[in-house]
Amino acid sequence: KMKTDMNFKALLTLIIAIIIFGCSPEKSQNENFTSSLLQFDQQIESIISNMTLEEKVNMLHGKTMFTSAGVERLGIADMKYADGPFGIREELQAHGWMPLGWTKDSATFFPTGSALAATWSPELAYEYGKGMAREARIRGKDMILGPAINIQRIPTGGRTYEYLSEDPLLSSQLSVGYTKGAQDNGAAVCLKHYALNNQENNRGTVDVIVGERAMREIYLPPFKAAVREADAYGVMAAYNKVNGWWCAENNNLLNEILRKEWGFAGMVISDWGGTHSTVESVEHGLNVEMPDSKYLGQALLDSLNAGVVSEKVIDLRVREILRVRLAIKPVPEEEANQVMTSQPEQQRIAYNVAAKSIVLLKNNGILPIDLSRKPTIAVIGDNAVRPMATGGVGAGVKALYEVSPLEGLRNKIGDKAKIVYAQGYVPVVLDYARMFGGKSDEEIAKEDAERERQNKKLNEEAIELAAKADIVLFMGGDNRAVETEGSDRKDIFLPSGQDELIQKLAKANPNIVTVLVSGAPNDLNEVNPLSKALVLSWFNGSEGGNALADVLVGNISPSGRLPFTLPVKLEDSPAYALGNYPQGQKKGDVFVGLVEETNKEITGENKGSDMNDPDKAYYSEEMLVGYRWFDTRNIEVMYPFGYGLTYTTFEYSALNTDAEKYESKDVISLSFSLMNTGDMASDEVVQAYVHRVNPSVEWPEKELKAFSRVNVQPGEEKTVTLEIPVEKLRYWDEINHDWKDDLCDIELQVGSSANDILLKKQVALGD
Choice between 156 and 573, CB closer to ligand BGC: 156
Active site annotation includes 756: no
Choice between 83 and 402, CB closer to ligand BGC: 83
According to DSSP, residue 264 is labeled: -
Please answer whether residues 161 and 114 qualify as being in contact, where contact means their C-beta atoms are separated by less than 8 angstroms. Answer: yes
**Contact with ligand BGC (CB under 6 A): which of 62, 70, 84, 263?**
84
Minimum distance from residue 186 beta carbon to ligand BGC (Å): 20
91 binds ligand BGC (CB under 6 A): no
83 binds ligand BGC (CB under 6 A): yes
Choice between 192 and 561, CB closer to ligand BGC: 192
Please answer whether residues 603 and 256 qualify as being in contact, where contact means their C-beta atoms are separated by less than 8 angstroms. Answer: no
The type of residue at 96 is G
Minimum distance from residue 89 beta carbon to ligand BGC (Å): 7
What length is written for the chain?
767
| Cα 470 versus chain centre, distance | 39
**Contact with ligand BGC (CB under 6 A): which of 109, 110, 272, 629?**
272
Nearest alpha carbon to residue 713 among 734, 682, 688: 682
Q: How far apart are CA 219 and CA 226, in angstroms?
A: 13
Choice between 38 and 208, CB closer to ligand BGC: 208
| Cα 429 versus chain centre, distance | 24
- Listing DSSP states for 193-238 in one string gives EETT---STTTTT-EEE--HHHIIIIISHHHHHHHHTT---EEEE-
Write the secondary structure of 74-96 as one string of H (helix), E (strand) and C (coil): HCECCEEEEECCCCCCCCECCCC
Minimum distance from residue 546 beta carbon to ligand BGC (Å): 28
Minimum distance from residue 72 beta carbon to ligand BGC (Å): 25
Choice between 487 and 598, CB closer to ligand BGC: 487
Choice between 113 and 477, CB closer to ligand BGC: 113
Q: How far apart are CA 545 and CA 383, in angstroms?
A: 11
Binding mask 230-269 for ligand BGC (x = CB under 6 A): ----------------------------------------
Nearest alpha carbon to residue 358 among 710, 648, 120: 120
| Number of alpha helices (DSSP H) and beta strands (DSSP E) in the chain | 23, 29
Minimum distance from residue 362 beta carbon to ligand BGC (Å): 34
Tell me what percent of the chain is helix, strand and coil, each rounded to the nearest 5: 35, 20, 45
| Cα 684 versus chain centre, distance | 22
CA-to-CA dists, residue 512 to 427, 466, 527, 546, 549, angstroms:
20, 9, 10, 20, 16
Choice between 23 and 97, CB closer to ligand BGC: 97
Question: Could you tell me how many residues of this chain bind ligand BGC (CB under 6 A)?
Answer: 8
CA-to-CA dists, residue 135 to 131, 190, 287, 330, angstroms:
6, 16, 26, 14
Minimum distance from residue 572 beta carbon to ligand BGC (Å): 29
Choice between 395 and 400, CB closer to ligand BGC: 395
483 binds ligand BGC (CB under 6 A): no
**Contact with ligand BGC (CB under 6 A): which of 142, 212, 249, 271?**
271
Using CB under 6 A, which residues numbered 393 to 412 contact ligand BGC? 394-395
CA-to-CA dists, residue 651 to 290, 465, 757, angstroms:
53, 41, 12
Q: Which residue in the list 207, 231, 271, 382 is annotated as catalytic?
A: 271
Minimum distance from residue 272 beta carbon to ligand BGC (Å): 4
According to DSSP, residue 728 is labeled: G
CA-to-CA dists, residue 544 to 81, 346, 556, 582, angstroms:
27, 13, 14, 33
Choice between 161 and 272, CB closer to ligand BGC: 272
223 binds ligand BGC (CB under 6 A): no
Please answer whether residues 399 and 87 qualify as being in contact, where contact means their C-beta atoms are separated by less than 8 angstroms. Answer: yes
Choice between 192 and 398, CB closer to ligand BGC: 192
Q: How far apart are CA 743 and CA 696, in angstroms?
A: 8
Choice between 83 and 684, CB closer to ligand BGC: 83
Q: How far apart are CA 337 and CA 588, in angstroms?
A: 57
Which helix (H) or strand (E) covers residue 31, if one does?
Answer: none
Angle at 107 between CA 104 and CA 111, to 5 degrees: 170
44 binds ligand BGC (CB under 6 A): no
Nearest alpha carbon to residue 277 among 266, 264, 268, 286: 286
What's phi and psi for 107, nearest 5 deg? -110, 175
CA-to-CA dists, residue 744 to 68, 254, 700, 741, angstroms:
51, 34, 14, 9
Using CB under 6 A, which residues numbered 133 to 152 contact ligand BGC? 145
Secondary structure (3-state) at 585: coil
Choice between 269 and 638, CB closer to ligand BGC: 269
The type of residue at 211 is G
Binding mask 192-211 for ligand BGC (x = CB under 6 A): x-------------------
Minimum distance from residue 734 beta carbon to ligand BGC (Å): 30
Angle at 249 between CA 245 and CA 251, to 5 degrees: 80
Secondary structure (3-state) at 99: strand
284 binds ligand BGC (CB under 6 A): no
Minimum distance from residue 271 beta carbon to ligand BGC (Å): 5
Please answer whether residues 424 and 382 qualify as being in contact, where contact means their C-beta atoms are separated by less than 8 angstroms. Answer: yes
What's phi and psi for 417, nearest 5 deg? -155, 165
Binding mask 151-190 for ligand BGC (x = CB under 6 A): ----------------------------------------
Known catalytic residues are 271
**Residues of this chain that bind ligand BGC (CB under 6 A):** 83-84, 145, 192, 271-272, 394-395
